[in-house]
Structure 1
Amino acid sequence: MTPGTSRLPPLNGLRAFEAAARHLNFRLAAEELSVTQAAVAQQVRGLEAYLGIQLFERLPRRLALTEQGRAYAPEVRRAFELLADATSALRPAPERLTISVTPTFASKWLIPRLPEFVEAHPFVDLRILASEKVSDFRRDDVDIAVRQGNPPFGPELESDLLFVQELIAVCSPILLPQGAASLRPADLDGQVLLQDAHDLWPRFLKEAHGVGVPAGARKLRFNQTSLAIDAAMAGQGIALVSRFLAEPELKSSRLVQALPGILRGQADFHVVAPRHPRRRGSTDMVRRWLLEQRQELPA
């Protein structure tokens, strides 16, 4: 034991005393420290024995600090604050990084995966910029983006394919006839077709099934695909969506593929970043993480 540490009282006793002095209650101190009330009382008694003084008066319904305890408590608290400040100074400051995505991509794909990201990368302060508007990397202080389109996106940008756009028709299982695995195109007559701003139902039915939109089909339009997916889960109609966005709901059977066939979209999803990013390390790390999250979808 070094000369410096030989003068220190038991640290567990100090922690117990400091918490009990703030609460004037062993039970509340125990809850804060995640130990038993008996353990706190024992640690305080051990500290008092080490110091050879009484720090608390044990009254019938409460604790009270003795004169020595009142003098000792703020000094112990200040010592713990100094330790906390010194420890914080050793840790690297969080590196801030902004990722631009659409609201649908954020809610249906990115947000469910964020807890895993935060756990794996605690020193990255991630800012999500969710907008249908294509963000400008410089003007909007964006470091990395997920964009739907076709490369090249610009001479100063580089991109990686994240998802191929494959559109499928989905609906709640309650819309299927009893015993049927899916609908037929003729069954769309009288159904509600949920669509986003792209309105790809005519192209899907023509290319996948060689038919047009039934005259009796009704339409309900949303400005975001996520709303169409939510409406489909609620049994309000049939949505045409990118398959990877609906994959969790398909796996959990909250949605089913309403019609066979896939429409290959004309614009895929890419991870895009400047060729010379301002924050090279964190940008590359988030880029790798996004690409690692890709899962093989069933054919």
Structure 2
Amino acid sequence: MDDDQDESLPSLNALRAFEAASRHLSFRRAAEELRVTEGAVGQHIRGLETNLGLKLFERRGRGIALTENGETYSVSVRRAFDLLIDATKALRPEPLKITISVTPTFAAKWLIPRLPDFTSANPDTDLRIVATDRLSHFQRDGIDLAVRYGRPPFGAGLDTDLLFEDIQVAVASPDILRGERRGKQIVSQHTLLHDTHNLWPQFLADLLRQQIPLTVEKNIRFSQTSLAIDAAAEGQGIALANLEFVARDIAAGRLVRIFELAHRTHAGFYLVSPRKPRQSEPVATLRKWLHVQASKARQAEDAHAARSLSRSSAPM
């Protein structure tokens, strides 16, 4: 490299000090941004002016302003720093960013408890979760994958596959059932906790067909299933919820199933995405992970049911 050409270039620290001071029009604020002293910034600027042989700043009252040369130079220096930033970013690949749209209850009761497994297995993927009861639009809202409740089809040009069925079970805190016999008859009057799906009438009809009476004292209605589940865990009544959303609480003893009856709505939770996704590989990875988690959940539920049946059939 030509030594004379190298010596003609100002130091990078001096250029950084000038660029910051030119933006803030303040040596003090430039020093705060660069985490150096105000005197160091002033020294860099004076050295740069000496190197260039011209003034870059001038005093105006209690402040400073760029000279005409300083104004022109600041534009070029700022552009050069932007090029350096862009070049550096190009060498550091951006993390994969996936956006999934789910209902608030699915997020709170199913997805969030399992997220550590996904983040540890996919450290280079940034997952954005949009939890809303509103139907998200894939293109307008930038959604890569959605979990939708109902029955297909959900629209043209979409790939759809079942994640898990909607199997409704009645659950409550074990505290409100002390001394009662579960399974065939609930002797006390109880509060029913409803959500917007309003599936209690069908469930009660199923109970009557099996000659299982349930005396209802009152009803409380919630806008989200997760709120009804939380209220049940707090001993405020009996909630009706998808088995997948309460399985962990049942296994932990926070909730118990009131009846063996399980009501199938013939709906389900489906994975839905455009047939031509913006990011096919990460979407496929997330879709596969969700299916694996659902399979593990079913296996855990089957094992828990088998243990419960074994305990209930054991001789006294």
Q: Report if TM-score (shorter chain) is over 0.5.
A: yes
* Residue aligning to 1:202: 201
* Residue aligning to 2:124: 123
In the aligned structure 1, how far is the partner of 2:177 from the partner of 2:88? 60
CA spacing shift, 1:198–1:116, aligned 2, 3 Å: same
Q: How does 1:1-299 map to 2 (within 5 A)?
A: 91-178=92-179, 180=181, 182=182, 184-185=184-185, 187=187, 190-210=189-209, 216-294=216-294, 295-296=297-298, 297-298=301-302
CA spacing shift, 1:214–1:172, aligned 2, 3 Å: closer
| Residue identity in the other structure for 1:173 | P
User: SS in structure 2 opposite 1:136?
Assistant: coil
CA displacement 1:17-62 (0-9 Å, x = unmatched):
xxxxxxxxxxxxxxxxxxxxxxxxxxxxxxxxxxxxxxxxxxxxxx
CA displacement 1:91-138 (0-9 Å, x = unmatched):
531111110000000011111111111111111111100000111111
In the aligned structure 1, how far is the partner of 2:92 from the partner of 2:249? 40
8 Å CA contact 1:208, 1:263 repeated in 2: no
Please report how far the alpha carbon of residue 260 of structure 1 lies from its aligned counterpart in structure 2 after TM superposition.
2.3
In the aligned structure 2, how far is the partner of 1:175 from the partner of 1:126? 39
CA displacement 1:241-268 (0-9 Å, x = unmatched):
0001000000011100012201001310
In the aligned structure 2, how far is the partner of 1:114 from the partner of 1:200? 29
CA spacing shift, 1:228–1:99, aligned 2, 3 Å: same
User: SS in structure 1 opposite 2:189?
Assistant: coil
8 Å CA contact 1:194, 1:238 repeated in 2: yes
TM-score (norm 1): 0.66
User: SS in structure 2 opposite 1:105?
Assistant: helix
In the aligned structure 1, how far is the partner of 2:178 from the partner of 2:97? 51
| Structure with more of its chain in helix, by fraction | 2
| Residue identity in the other structure for 2:156 | P
Structure 1, unaligned runs of 5 or more: 1-85
In the aligned structure 2, how far is the partner of 1:165 from the partner of 1:205? 17
8 Å CA contact 1:102, 1:130 repeated in 2: yes
TM-score (norm 2): 0.63
Which one has a bigger Cα radius of gyration? 2
Q: RMSD value over aligned CA atoms?
A: 2.3
Q: How many residues align?
A: 213
Identity %: 46
In the aligned structure 1, how far is the partner of 2:114 from the partner of 2:264? 26
8 Å CA contact 1:208, 1:262 repeated in 2: no
CA spacing shift, 1:216–1:225, aligned 2, 3 Å: closer
Structure 2, unaligned runs of 5 or more: 1-86, 306-316
CA displacement 1:43-88 (0-9 Å, x = unmatched):
xxxxxxxxxxxxxxxxxxxxxxxxxxxxxxxxxxxxxxxxxxx998
CA displacement 1:167-187 (0-9 Å, x = unmatched):
00000001113263x254553
In the aligned structure 2, how far is the partner of 1:215 from the partner of 1:286? 44
CA spacing shift, 1:252–1:214, aligned 2, 3 Å: closer
In the aligned structure 1, how far is the partner of 2:234 from the partner of 2:176? 10
8 Å CA contact 2:169, 2:242 repeated in 1: yes
CA spacing shift, 1:112–1:214, aligned 2, 3 Å: closer
8 Å CA contact 2:166, 2:267 repeated in 1: yes
